[in-house]
Amino acid sequence: MGRKGWKDEVIETWIGQVRSVAYDMENIVDQFIYVVGKNNQKGSWRNYIKKPLSLFTIEEIAAEVKRVNQELQQLSESKDRWTKPIDGVTNIPVPNYETERELYFPGHDDSINDDELVGTDKNRQSLIESLHSEDCSQRIIAVWGMGGIGKSTLVSNVYKSEASKFDCRESYKLEDVWKTLLRDLLAKDKKEFDAVTMNGTELRVELRKILDKRRYLIILDDIWTAAVLFKIREVLVDNGLGSRVIITTRAEEVTSIAEDCCKIKVEPLNNHDAWLLFCRMAFPKTENHTCPPELQQCGIDIVQKCDGLPLALVAMGSILSLKTKSIKEWRLFHNQLIWELYNNENLNHVEKILNLSYKYLPDYLKNCFLYCAMFPEDYLLHRKRLIRLWIAEGFIEQKGACSLEDVAEGYLGELVRRSMLQVVTRNNFGRIKFLRMHDLVRELAIFLYTKENFSTIYDDTHGVVKVGLNSRRVSVLQCNNDIQSSIDLSNHVNILVDILVN
C-alpha cells in the first residue's frame, strides 16, 4: 500500500495499525522460539509446555495469538470500509519514476539552469570526448549517480552544445519511447505516422530502417533497470556511422551495458563548489554573490546538510533568497530543514526525488537501508559489523547454499549500486571496508523510520529526549546521563543498539 500514492490520513493511520500488529506478531514468534529453545535443552516440549516460565508460557502465547487474530480481522474489515471510496482512483501502483513525477509535481523540471552549473567541467569534457571519439561503431554512454546529483543537467547541457553535429538527435523520458521516437523522426521527413495501427514489432522494424542510414544521438533519461534498456537497444542499430546513445541512471547495474571507458559517475560537489553554487542561488543580485559575514556560519551549516547535492543546494538557496537576510531567519530554516523538505511546496520535490530511490527498493532492502540511518551523522559504517547487525535483526534470508554473511554482503552491494550508500574505503582485495550515508538521505531516512515506528533516536545532548512508545528500536547516539527511567524498553525489540558517542 505504500506504493499506491495514497495521501489520505485515514489510510496512513490504518497502515500504522497494521504495522503495530505485525510487530506484535514478530514478538509472539520470538517468544515461541524462546520457549521451544529452552525446552530442547531439557526434554520434550509437549511435556514442558505445562510448566510455567519466568517470562511467558505457551498459554500466554496462545492468548496473544488469539488477540492478534481478532485485531487482524478488524483491520481487514476496516480496510474494506475505508479504502472502498477511492479504489477506482488510486488503487493502481505507480509503475515508474516518470509517472510518479507527473503525479506529484506535474511540469516540474528538477534540473538546474546551465548558468548554474558548478563543478561539472571534468565530467562535461569526458562526455564530449566520448561523443566525438574516432570509433565509428555505436557507443552507449552511461552517466550515473544518486538522485538530484545533476546527471540530467549535465547531459542536457552537452546535448544543447553538441547535438547539431549529428544527423538526427532526440532526448526522451522513458515512456512510449518507440512511438515518440518514430513520430518525431518521420515528422522531420514530413511523413505521416499512425501509431495506433502499428504493433511493437512493426514499430521496431520501421525504426531500424530509419536509423540504419543516419548518425544519431539519442538520450534516454532516468533508466531504472537494465532489462528496459536491453529492449530499447533492439532498435538502436549499429550502422558504423558513429551514432551515440546517452543514458542517465541511479543504478550502477544499468551502466553495465556501456563500456568501462564510457561510464561517467557524477559525484557530490566538493565544499568549495557547493558553497559557490549555494551563494549564486541565495544572493543572485549581490555583487559576486557574496554572503554577508553574519550569515556565513549558518549558510555553511545548511550547505553541509546538502552534502554536495546540487538539486538541494539550488532549491534551498532559492528559498533563502526570498527570506529576510537575518541570522534568526536562517537559523530557524536550518533547524527545521527536514520539516521544510516535507512541507514547503518549493522544496518537497527534493524530498520526492530522493525518496523515490527508497520507494522502489526491493522490500528485502528497505529495512537494511533504514537501519543504516540509526548511526550518527557522518558515521563510518564498518561492513562486517553492519552485516552482523542485519543478521541479528533477522533482515537476511537464507538463499540456497549461501551463508547469511554472503547474502548480507550482496544486499550491501545492491544498496551501493543503487546509490543509497557511499563507499568510503575498500580493502586491498577491493571489498568494501567502510561506508557512509549521504547527510540528506540520512535525514530523510530518519523521517521515514520515525513515521513507520521502525526506530527512534535517544540523544540527551540538549536535554531529556522522549522515546516513542511504539518504536521498534532505540538508537542511543548521546547519553550524558542514565537513560530516563520513564522509557519502557519492553515495547522495543530485544536488541538495544549501542551506538554511543563519547
- DSSP for 92-151, please give it: S---SHHHHHHHHSTT---S--GGG--S-HHHHHHHHHHHT-S--S-EEEEEE-STTSSH
**Element spanning 169, H or E:** strand 168-173
The answer to whether residue 228 is domain-embedded is yes
432-436 sheet: strands from edge to edge? 381-382, 432-436, 422-426
Whether residue 205 lies inside any domain: the answer is yes
Element at 222 (helix H, strand E): strand 216-223
> Which residue in the block uniquely carries the three cell numbers 551514432?
243
- 31/37 Cα distance (integer angstroms): 10
Distance CA 476, CA 459 (A): 6
233 and 337 within one domain: no
> Domain check: are 242 and 175 in the same one?
yes
SS3 category, 223: strand
pLDDT at residue 98 in the model:
44
Both 172 and 296 in one domain: the answer is no
128 and 260, same domain (yes or no): yes
126 and 87 within one domain: no
Q: Is 429 part of a structural domain of the chain?
A: yes
Write phi, then psi, for 381 (nearest 5 degrees).
-85, 120
- The answer to whether the CB of 416 falls within 8 A of the CB of 365 is no
What values do phi and psi take at 74, rounded to 5? -65, -40
* Regions of the chain where pLDDT drops below 50: 44-54, 85-111, 175, 464, 485-486, 492-502
The whole domain housing 391 covers: 361-445
Nearest to 85 by CA among 11, 175, 162, 2: 11
One domain for residues 382 and 422: yes
| Residue 138 shares a structural domain with residue 258 | yes
Distance CA 125, CA 290 (A): 29
In a domain, 356, yes or no: no
Residues 310 and 286 both lie in one domain: yes
Which residues in 395-451 belong to E strands, given as ranges? 422-426, 432-436
44, 78, 93 - which closes a domain? 93
pTM, full prediction:
0.74
- The CATH number of the domain where 373 resides is what? 1.10.10.10
**The C-alpha cell of 441 is what?**
538521505
| Statement to judge: residues 22 and 45 lie in one domain | yes
Which strand (E) or helix (H) includes residue 382? Answer: strand 381-382
- Looking at the fold, whether 143 and 89 belong to one and the same domain comes out as no
Indicate the number of domains in the chain: 5
Q: Does any domain span residue 352?
A: no
Residue 115: CB atoms within 10 Å: 7
CB 124 within 8 A of CB 158: yes
CB-neighbour burial class of residue 304 (10 A; exposed 0-12, middle 13-18, buried 19+): middle
Is 437 in the same domain as 467?
A: no
Q: Is residue 107 one of the residues assigned to a domain?
A: no
Q: Which residue has the cell 523540471?
A: 109
Considering only CA atoms, which of 261, 166, 146 is closest in space to residue 219?
166
pLDDT of res. 419: 87
Q: How far is CA 387 from CA 76, 132, 243, 407, 475, in A?
A: 36, 44, 44, 9, 17
**Domain identity same for 185 and 233:** yes
Of 445, 466, 487, the residue at which a domain comes to its end is 445
Q: Looking at residue 127, which CATH number applies to its domain? A: 3.40.50.300
Q: Is residue 354 part of a domain?
A: no
Q: Measure CA 129 to chain center.
A: 31
The reported pLDDT for the residue numbered 465 is 57
For residue 344, the model assigns a pLDDT of: 79
Query: Which of 265, 288, 320 is the last residue in one of the domains?
Result: 265
The DSSP code for 3 is T
Query: What is d(CA 423, CA 433) in angstroms, rounded to the nearest whole number?
Result: 8
- Does residue 461 sit within a domain? yes
DSSP calls for 234-280 = TT----SS--EEEEEES-GGGGGGS-GGGEEEPPPPPHHHHHHHHHH
